């Protein structure tokens, strides 16, 4: 039997008042069914944006410190090596795009039937999975771009002809974030929270 809200649905499970309430479940399915799908969706949105920003910041930190260190020896590298910073910033923008797209899919509606219940569960998990894919891909993309951008700056100081060759490696590293963006949008596209008419 469905209840009007998720709070009433979990209250009907009569969980003990304990900070370790999750230990009282016999199966993982019971635990996850007690968590609102809206919470899963919002956590997925937060993971997509948060991990993307961490990946971008880490990459910019890695590139920036190496770029400043190498510019002491040869100042000409600063202008064209800034493209590495742009690649890292794109990683954060990918996460922002996914967070905006996913947040427009979340519509709160009371539970009135089993079909709405299962649709909410599926949509919550889909947005969580999509956010996790985007966040992790962008985290590791930021790290990869940061390391290859640092190597590009060092190589450019030593020999300016190496810049374009290593930049190609950096472009392939930044494509990892784009792959995550595409897969995350495909997963999130399946999520459709029911709307109140």
Q: What is the pLDDT of residues 175-192, one digit of tens each?
A: 999 999 999 999 999 888
Please report the pLDDT score of residue 165 as a whole number: 85
Please report the pLDDT score of residue 17 as a whole number: 55
Please report the pLDDT score of residue 92 as a whole number: 94
What CA–CA distances, in Å, run from 91 to 10, 57, 110, 170, 187?
A: 38, 9, 36, 13, 19
pLDDT in tens, 112-171: 777 888 888 889 999 999 999 999 999 999 999 999 989 888 888 888 888 888 889 889
**CA–CA gap between residue 22 and residue 17 (Å, rounded):** 11
Q: Looking at the predicted structure, is the pLDDT value of residue 58 above 70?
A: yes
More confident residue, 73 or 138: 138
Mean pLDDT, rounded, of the chain? 84
Q: Quick one: CA torsion of 64, 70, 75, 78, rounded to 10 degrees?
A: -30
Please report the pLDDT score of residue 3 as a whole number: 43
Question: How far separated are the first and last CA of the chain, in Å rounded?
Answer: 22
99 burial (CB, 10 Å; 0-12 / 13-18 / 19+) is: buried
pLDDT in tens, 21-39: 556 666 666 677 777 888 8
- Residues making up the chain, counted from first to last: 197
**CA–CA gap between residue 160 and residue 93 (Å, rounded):** 30
Closest CA to 146 of 88, 73, 86, 67: 88
Contact criterion met (CB below 8 Å) for 35 and 128: no
More confident residue, 102 or 115: 102
Contact criterion met (CB below 8 Å) for 193 and 119: yes
Question: Which pLDDT band holds residue 2 (cuts at 50, 70, 90)?
Answer: very low
Closest CA to 124 of 190, 28, 40, 31: 40
Give the residue-averaged pLDDT of 52-77. 88
Q: Looking at the predicted structure, is the pLDDT value of residue 13 above 60?
A: no
């Amino acid at each position: 039997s469905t209840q009007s809200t998720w709070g009433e649905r979990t209250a009907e499970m009569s969980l003990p008042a304990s900070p370790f309430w999750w230990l009282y479940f016999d199966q993982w399915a019971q635990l996850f069914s007690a968590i609102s799908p809206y919470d899963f969706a919002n956590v997925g949105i937060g993971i997509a944006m948060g991990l993307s920003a961490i990946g971008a910041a880490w990459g910019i930190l890695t590139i920036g410190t190496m770029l400043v260190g190498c510019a002491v020896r040869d100042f000409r590298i600063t202008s064209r090596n800034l493209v590495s910073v742009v690649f890292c910033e794109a990683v954060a923008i990918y996460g922002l795009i996914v967070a905006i797209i996913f947040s427009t899919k979340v519509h709160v509606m009371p539970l009135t039937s089993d079909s709405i219940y299962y649709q909410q569960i599926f949509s919550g998990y889909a947005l969580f999975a999509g956010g996790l894919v985007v966040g992790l891909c962008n985290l590791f993309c930021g790290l990869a771009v940061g390391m290859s951008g640092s190597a590009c700056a060092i190589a450019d100081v030593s020999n300016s002809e190496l810049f374009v060759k290593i930049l190609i490696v950096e472009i392939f590293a930044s494509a990892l974030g784009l792959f995550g963006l595409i897969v995350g949008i495909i997963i999130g596209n399946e999520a459709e929270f029911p709307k109140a008419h």
